[in-house]
Copies of this chain bind each other. A is one copy, B any other.
Protein backbone atom coordinates (compact mmCIF):
# COMPACT_ATOMS: atom_id res chain seq x y z
CA UNK A 1 0.00 0.00 0.00
CA UNK A 2 0.85 3.63 -0.18
CA UNK A 3 3.37 4.76 2.41
CA UNK A 4 2.59 6.97 5.39
CA UNK A 5 4.88 9.11 7.47
CA UNK A 6 5.22 6.28 9.93
CA UNK A 7 6.63 3.95 7.32
CA UNK A 8 9.24 6.52 6.47
CA UNK A 9 10.07 7.07 10.12
CA UNK A 10 10.52 3.38 10.71
CA UNK A 11 12.67 2.96 7.66
CA UNK A 12 14.85 5.94 8.55
CA UNK A 13 15.02 4.96 12.19
CA UNK A 14 13.68 8.29 13.44
CA UNK A 15 10.44 9.65 14.82
CA UNK A 16 7.64 10.90 12.66
CA UNK A 17 8.27 14.40 13.97
CA UNK A 18 11.74 14.31 12.53
CA UNK A 19 10.46 13.02 9.23
CA UNK A 20 8.01 15.85 9.11
CA UNK A 21 10.72 18.39 9.82
CA UNK A 22 13.21 16.94 7.40
CA UNK A 23 10.76 16.68 4.57
CA UNK A 24 9.57 20.23 4.97
CA UNK A 25 13.09 21.53 5.06
CA UNK A 26 12.83 22.96 8.54
CA UNK A 27 16.04 23.97 10.25
CA UNK A 28 17.41 22.13 13.24
CA UNK A 29 17.63 18.78 11.54
CA UNK A 30 21.06 17.21 11.31
CA UNK A 31 22.27 16.88 7.76
CA UNK A 32 22.83 13.16 8.07
CA UNK A 33 19.41 12.67 9.56
CA UNK A 34 17.84 14.67 6.79
CA UNK A 35 19.58 12.59 4.16
CA UNK A 36 18.46 9.40 5.77
CA UNK A 37 14.88 10.60 5.85
CA UNK A 38 14.97 11.86 2.30
CA UNK A 39 16.25 8.63 0.91
CA UNK A 40 13.81 6.58 2.95
CA UNK A 41 10.99 8.74 1.65
CA UNK A 42 12.05 8.46 -1.93
CA UNK A 43 12.56 4.71 -1.65
CA UNK A 44 9.04 4.37 -0.35
CA UNK A 45 7.82 6.81 -2.96
CA UNK A 46 6.29 8.76 -0.15
CA UNK A 47 4.28 11.96 -0.42
CA UNK A 48 2.56 13.53 2.53
CA UNK A 49 -1.19 13.48 2.64
CA UNK A 50 -2.17 17.07 1.99
CA UNK A 51 -5.36 16.69 3.97
CA UNK A 52 -3.68 15.47 7.10
CA UNK A 53 -1.16 18.27 6.81
CA UNK A 54 -3.86 20.83 6.28
CA UNK A 55 -5.89 19.62 9.19
CA UNK A 56 -2.93 19.64 11.49
CA UNK A 57 -1.42 22.90 10.39
CA UNK A 58 -4.50 24.91 9.56
CA UNK A 59 -2.92 26.01 6.30
CA UNK A 60 -4.61 24.79 3.17
CA UNK A 61 -1.88 25.57 0.65
CA UNK A 62 -4.72 26.33 -1.69
CA UNK A 63 -5.90 29.50 -3.31
CA UNK A 64 -9.37 29.97 -4.74
CA UNK A 65 -9.75 31.70 -8.08
CA UNK A 66 -13.14 33.12 -8.91
CA UNK A 67 -13.87 33.97 -12.52
CA UNK A 68 -17.12 35.05 -14.17
CA UNK A 69 -16.37 32.94 -17.25
CA UNK A 70 -13.68 30.52 -18.23
CA UNK A 71 -13.90 30.35 -21.97
CA UNK A 72 -13.07 33.91 -22.79
CA UNK A 73 -9.56 34.75 -23.80
CA UNK A 74 -8.88 37.09 -20.90
CA UNK A 75 -9.87 34.56 -18.27
CA UNK A 76 -8.05 31.77 -20.03
CA UNK A 77 -4.90 33.81 -19.70
CA UNK A 78 -5.62 34.52 -16.08
CA UNK A 79 -6.24 30.90 -15.18
CA UNK A 80 -3.16 29.82 -17.05
CA UNK A 81 -0.95 32.34 -15.28
CA UNK A 82 -2.35 31.84 -11.82
CA UNK A 83 -2.23 28.08 -12.08
CA UNK A 84 1.41 27.96 -13.01
CA UNK A 85 2.47 30.51 -10.42
CA UNK A 86 0.66 28.58 -7.70
CA UNK A 87 2.00 25.26 -8.85
CA UNK A 88 5.49 26.63 -8.68
CA UNK A 89 4.88 27.80 -5.12
CA UNK A 90 3.48 24.44 -4.08
CA UNK A 91 -0.07 25.69 -3.90
CA UNK A 92 -3.21 24.16 -5.31
CA UNK A 93 -5.68 26.10 -7.40
CA UNK A 94 -9.36 25.75 -6.66
CA UNK A 95 -11.35 27.14 -9.55
CA UNK A 96 -14.78 28.68 -9.17
CA UNK A 97 -16.55 29.57 -12.36
CA UNK A 98 -19.58 31.74 -11.76
CA UNK A 99 -21.01 31.30 -15.25
CA UNK A 100 -24.14 33.33 -14.81
CA UNK A 101 -26.10 35.46 -12.38
CA UNK A 102 -27.44 32.38 -10.61
CA UNK A 103 -24.00 30.95 -10.20
CA UNK A 104 -22.84 34.25 -8.88
CA UNK A 105 -25.66 34.44 -6.36
CA UNK A 106 -25.03 30.89 -5.25
CA UNK A 107 -21.36 31.52 -4.79
CA UNK A 108 -21.82 34.54 -2.61
CA UNK A 109 -24.59 32.92 -0.67
CA UNK A 110 -22.88 29.63 0.10
CA UNK A 111 -19.29 30.87 0.00
CA UNK A 112 -18.09 27.40 -0.91
CA UNK A 113 -14.49 28.50 -0.39
CA UNK A 114 -14.98 28.65 3.33
CA UNK A 115 -12.47 26.55 5.22
CA UNK A 116 -10.74 25.48 2.07
CA UNK A 117 -8.47 28.26 0.89
CA UNK A 118 -5.76 30.41 2.39
CA UNK A 119 -6.63 33.27 0.11
CA UNK A 120 -9.01 34.19 -2.65
CA UNK A 121 -8.48 35.83 -6.00
CA UNK A 122 -11.48 37.45 -7.64
CA UNK A 123 -11.20 38.35 -11.28
CA UNK A 124 -12.89 41.24 -13.02
CA UNK A 125 -16.09 41.40 -11.04
CA UNK A 126 -17.76 44.60 -10.01
CA UNK A 127 -18.87 43.59 -6.54
CA UNK A 128 -21.69 44.91 -4.46
CA UNK A 129 -21.09 45.98 -0.90
CA UNK A 130 -22.79 42.83 0.29
CA UNK A 131 -20.48 40.74 -1.83
CA UNK A 132 -17.49 42.57 -0.46
CA UNK A 133 -18.80 41.91 3.02
CA UNK A 134 -18.99 38.22 2.28
CA UNK A 135 -15.40 38.26 1.13
CA UNK A 136 -14.31 40.15 4.20
CA UNK A 137 -16.14 37.66 6.39
CA UNK A 138 -13.89 34.94 5.03
CA UNK A 139 -11.16 36.50 7.10
CA UNK A 140 -8.59 35.60 4.50
CA UNK A 141 -6.52 37.77 2.20
CA UNK A 142 -8.44 38.61 -0.95
CA UNK A 143 -6.89 39.77 -4.19
CA UNK A 144 -8.83 41.64 -6.81
CA UNK A 145 -8.09 41.64 -10.49
CA UNK A 146 -9.45 44.61 -12.35
CA UNK A 147 -10.57 46.99 -9.65
CA UNK A 148 -9.22 48.53 -6.48
CA UNK A 149 -10.85 48.52 -3.08
CA UNK A 150 -9.52 49.73 0.22
CA UNK A 151 -8.40 46.84 2.34
CA UNK A 152 -7.91 44.49 -0.60
CA UNK A 153 -4.92 43.76 -2.74
CA UNK A 154 -5.50 44.56 -6.38
CA UNK A 155 -3.85 44.54 -9.73
CA UNK A 156 -5.35 46.12 -12.77
CA UNK A 157 -5.03 48.50 -15.64
CA UNK A 158 -6.59 51.90 -15.90
CA UNK A 159 -9.51 51.10 -18.18
CA UNK A 160 -10.68 54.66 -18.19
CA UNK A 161 -7.41 56.26 -19.20
CA UNK A 162 -6.63 53.49 -21.67
CA UNK A 163 -9.94 53.87 -23.44
CA UNK A 164 -9.40 57.56 -23.53
CA UNK A 165 -6.13 57.03 -25.36
CA UNK A 166 -7.80 54.70 -27.81
CA UNK A 167 -10.46 57.24 -28.66
CA UNK A 168 -7.88 60.01 -28.76
CA UNK A 169 -6.08 57.99 -31.38
CA UNK A 170 -9.21 58.05 -33.51
CA UNK A 171 -9.63 61.76 -32.90
CA UNK A 172 -6.04 62.40 -33.90
CA UNK A 173 -6.80 60.78 -37.23
CA UNK A 174 -9.48 63.35 -37.80
CA UNK A 175 -12.54 61.38 -36.78
CA UNK A 176 -15.36 63.35 -35.18
CA UNK A 177 -18.19 60.86 -35.36
CA UNK A 178 -17.04 57.98 -33.23
CA UNK A 179 -19.28 55.11 -32.22
CA UNK A 180 -18.91 53.09 -29.04
CA UNK A 181 -19.51 49.36 -29.12
CA UNK A 182 -19.84 48.66 -25.47
CA UNK A 183 -20.65 46.13 -22.83
CA UNK A 184 -23.60 46.40 -20.56
CA UNK A 185 -22.59 48.33 -17.47
CA UNK A 186 -25.73 47.08 -15.75
CA UNK A 187 -25.40 43.44 -16.68
CA UNK A 188 -26.20 41.14 -13.76
CA UNK A 189 -22.77 39.57 -14.21
CA UNK A 190 -21.29 43.04 -14.03
CA UNK A 191 -17.69 42.78 -14.72
CA UNK A 192 -15.22 45.59 -14.62
CA UNK A 193 -14.40 46.72 -18.14
CA UNK A 194 -17.74 48.12 -19.40
CA UNK A 195 -18.02 50.73 -16.72
CA UNK A 196 -14.67 52.38 -17.11
CA UNK A 197 -14.13 51.90 -20.79
CA UNK A 198 -17.30 53.79 -21.49
CA UNK A 199 -16.21 56.56 -19.17
CA UNK A 200 -12.94 56.84 -21.05
CA UNK A 201 -14.77 57.08 -24.34
CA UNK A 202 -16.95 59.88 -23.10
CA UNK A 203 -14.04 61.71 -21.54
CA UNK A 204 -12.07 61.59 -24.77
CA UNK A 205 -15.00 63.05 -26.67
CA UNK A 206 -15.30 65.82 -24.14
CA UNK A 207 -11.55 66.47 -24.32
CA UNK A 208 -11.85 66.91 -28.05
CA UNK A 209 -14.91 69.10 -27.81
CA UNK A 210 -17.03 66.50 -29.58
CA UNK A 211 -20.67 66.39 -28.69
CA UNK A 212 -21.75 63.14 -27.04
CA UNK A 213 -24.54 61.44 -28.94
CA UNK A 214 -26.44 58.64 -27.22
CA UNK A 215 -27.27 56.91 -30.50
CA UNK A 216 -23.54 56.35 -31.00
CA UNK A 217 -23.34 54.13 -27.94
CA UNK A 218 -24.65 50.68 -28.69
CA UNK A 219 -24.32 47.50 -26.68
CA UNK A 220 -22.25 44.71 -28.19
CA UNK A 221 -22.38 42.36 -25.20
CA UNK A 222 -18.73 41.38 -25.50
CA UNK A 223 -19.42 38.95 -28.31
CA UNK A 224 -18.58 39.08 -32.02
CA UNK A 225 -22.25 38.74 -32.86
CA UNK A 226 -23.07 41.63 -30.60
CA UNK A 227 -20.33 43.72 -32.09
CA UNK A 228 -21.53 42.99 -35.60
CA UNK A 229 -25.07 43.98 -34.77
CA UNK A 230 -24.00 47.13 -32.97
CA UNK A 231 -21.92 48.27 -35.92
CA UNK A 232 -24.78 47.51 -38.26
CA UNK A 233 -27.15 49.59 -36.24
CA UNK A 234 -24.87 52.58 -36.13
CA UNK A 235 -24.02 52.37 -39.81
CA UNK A 236 -27.71 52.64 -40.55
CA UNK A 237 -27.91 56.04 -38.91
CA UNK A 238 -28.45 59.05 -41.16
CA UNK A 239 -25.09 60.32 -40.06
CA UNK A 240 -23.08 57.19 -39.33
CA UNK A 241 -19.78 57.12 -37.47
CA UNK A 242 -16.55 57.15 -39.42
CA UNK A 243 -14.81 55.34 -36.60
CA UNK A 244 -15.58 52.94 -33.79
CA UNK A 245 -14.18 52.13 -30.42
CA UNK A 246 -15.05 48.61 -29.33
CA UNK A 247 -14.62 47.82 -25.65
CA UNK A 248 -13.23 44.41 -26.56
CA UNK A 249 -11.44 42.92 -29.52
CA UNK A 250 -14.07 40.26 -29.90
CA UNK A 251 -16.74 42.84 -30.53
CA UNK A 252 -14.40 44.52 -33.00
CA UNK A 253 -14.08 41.26 -34.93
CA UNK A 254 -17.82 41.32 -35.33
CA UNK A 255 -17.82 44.91 -36.48
CA UNK A 256 -15.14 44.11 -39.03
CA UNK A 257 -17.41 41.54 -40.58
CA UNK A 258 -20.19 44.06 -40.78
CA UNK A 259 -17.87 46.46 -42.58
CA UNK A 260 -16.85 43.76 -45.01
CA UNK A 261 -20.43 42.85 -45.70
CA UNK A 262 -21.29 46.48 -46.25
CA UNK A 263 -18.49 46.83 -48.72
CA UNK A 264 -16.74 49.43 -46.61
CA UNK A 265 -13.00 49.71 -46.81
CA UNK A 266 -11.05 49.67 -43.57
CA UNK A 267 -9.66 52.12 -42.56
CA UNK A 268 -10.48 54.39 -45.51
CA UNK A 269 -14.26 54.30 -45.14
CA UNK A 270 -14.44 53.31 -41.53
CA UNK A 271 -11.84 52.83 -38.83
CA UNK A 272 -12.01 50.74 -35.69
CA UNK A 273 -9.98 50.20 -32.59
CA UNK A 274 -10.57 47.45 -30.06
CA UNK A 275 -9.40 46.69 -26.56
CA UNK A 276 -7.36 43.78 -25.15
CA UNK A 277 -4.93 42.84 -27.90
CA UNK A 278 -5.87 39.21 -28.09
CA UNK A 279 -3.51 37.15 -30.24
CA UNK A 280 -6.07 36.96 -33.01
CA UNK A 281 -6.10 40.74 -33.27
CA UNK A 282 -2.65 41.13 -34.66
CA UNK A 283 -3.80 38.68 -37.12
CA UNK A 284 -6.88 40.59 -38.15
CA UNK A 285 -4.81 43.73 -38.31
CA UNK A 286 -6.94 45.30 -35.64
CA UNK A 287 -5.71 48.38 -33.83
CA UNK A 288 -6.30 47.93 -30.15
CA UNK A 289 -5.21 48.66 -26.62
CA UNK A 290 -2.69 46.16 -25.39
CA UNK A 291 -3.14 45.17 -21.80
CA UNK A 292 -0.72 42.94 -19.92
CA UNK A 293 -3.04 40.20 -18.75
CA UNK A 294 -0.52 37.64 -17.61
CA UNK A 295 1.44 40.35 -15.81
CA UNK A 296 -1.58 41.51 -13.87
CA UNK A 297 -2.47 37.96 -12.93
CA UNK A 298 1.06 37.12 -11.92
CA UNK A 299 1.47 40.30 -9.91
CA UNK A 300 -1.62 39.77 -7.83
CA UNK A 301 -0.89 36.08 -7.36
CA UNK A 302 2.63 36.65 -6.11
CA UNK A 303 1.57 39.40 -3.76
CA UNK A 304 -1.21 37.24 -2.42
CA UNK A 305 1.26 34.44 -1.84
CA UNK A 306 3.63 36.83 -0.12
CA UNK A 307 0.84 37.95 2.16
CA UNK A 308 -0.02 34.40 3.12
CA UNK A 309 3.46 33.23 3.72
CA UNK A 310 4.11 36.41 5.65
CA UNK A 311 7.23 36.96 3.64
CA UNK A 312 9.06 40.25 3.99
CA UNK A 313 7.02 43.38 3.49
CA UNK A 314 4.18 41.86 1.56
CA UNK A 315 3.43 44.55 -0.96
CA UNK A 316 -0.17 45.49 -0.32
CA UNK A 317 -2.39 47.92 -2.08
CA UNK A 318 -3.26 48.59 -5.64
CA UNK A 319 -1.01 48.05 -8.63
CA UNK A 320 -1.85 49.69 -11.93
CA UNK A 321 -0.05 48.25 -14.92
CA UNK A 322 0.65 50.01 -18.18
CA UNK A 323 -1.34 49.66 -21.34
CA UNK A 324 -0.41 50.73 -24.83
CA UNK A 325 -2.28 51.70 -27.93
CA UNK A 326 -1.24 49.37 -30.71
CA UNK A 327 -1.83 50.90 -34.10
CA UNK A 328 -2.53 48.50 -36.91
CA UNK A 329 -4.24 48.60 -40.25
CA UNK A 330 -7.77 48.99 -38.96
CA UNK A 331 -7.12 52.64 -38.16
CA UNK A 332 -4.01 53.46 -40.11
CA UNK A 333 -3.58 52.20 -43.65
CA UNK A 334 0.14 52.82 -43.54
CA UNK A 335 0.43 50.18 -40.83
CA UNK A 336 -1.63 47.64 -42.67
CA UNK A 337 -0.14 44.23 -43.07
CA UNK A 338 -3.05 42.73 -44.92
Contacts and interface: CB of A to CB of B under 8 A. Distances in A.
Interface of A: 2, 47-52, 54-55, 60, 69-73, 76-77, 79-80, 83-84, 87, 92-97, 99, 103, 112, 114-116, 139, 224-225, 228, 253-254, 257, 260-261, 279-280, 283-284, 338
Given A54-B51, A83-B97, A260-B338, A71 B60 contact: no
Contacts of A76: 70-72, 76
A115 B83 contact: no
A266 to B, nearest CB: 12
A224 B54 contact: no
Contacts of A279: 224
B92 A94 contact: yes
Contacts of A254: 283
Contacts of A49: 55, 115
A83 B70 contact: yes
Complex A-B, nearest 9 residue pairs according to Cβ-Cβ distance, in ascending order: A71-B76, A51-B54, A51-B55, A70-B80, A51-B51, A83-B97, A49-B115, A224-B283, A47-B114
Nearest to A139: B2
A162 B325 CA distance: 42
